[in-house]
A = this chain, B = another copy of it.
């Protein structure tokens, strides 16, 4: 036994694809919900609720922030979305892609790098073996210095 069971990846690829999942659970595909989903599809990485509400710099229609929060929460319950906390700012939301991903967050430049979850297996194993502790990087990702910033830090800063 080396790895804990990993939940099956959900491979949603479009808003319509998600519609069924929403209705299956008694939910409704409203305009506001559609909007949150299209924002998440339009975003290239994890984004804040406020970025979504403001329309992602013109890429989608702006909307009410409390509805955005409620919809993100709803979609998270469906397994379609997840959120994580990086640094001092607001939480960041992303679609749960078809592939299991974890994130490495640079605390210096803010870059958020997605990595295949499986590539962190040795790391999880090392921590479990040494401390009897099972790390979960999904909600509170690994924070540190990306390659560029690590290099900068060694020289001048």
Spell out A's residues near B (CB within 8 Å). 85-88, 104, 106-107, 113, 115, 119, 122-123, 126-127, 130-137, 139-140, 142-147, 150
Q: Are B119 and A133 in contact (CB under 8 A)?
A: no
Copies of this chain per assembly? 2
- Chain B residues within 8 Å of A144, by CB: 127, 133-136
Q: Are B115 and A134 in contact (CB under 8 A)?
A: no
CA distance A126 to B101 in the complex (A): 18
Q: Are B145 and A134 in contact (CB under 8 A)?
A: yes
Q: Are A135 and B139 in contact (CB under 8 A)?
A: no
Q: Are B113 and A133 in contact (CB under 8 A)?
A: yes
CA distance A142 to B142 in the complex (A): 7
Listed A/B pairs (10) with beta-carbon separation below 8 Å: A85-B85, A86-B140, A104-B133, A107-B139, A122-B126, A122-B130, A123-B123, A126-B126, A133-B150, A134-B150
Q: Are A132 and B147 in contact (CB under 8 A)?
A: yes
Of B85, B88, B134, B142, which contacts A133 at CB under 8 A?
B142
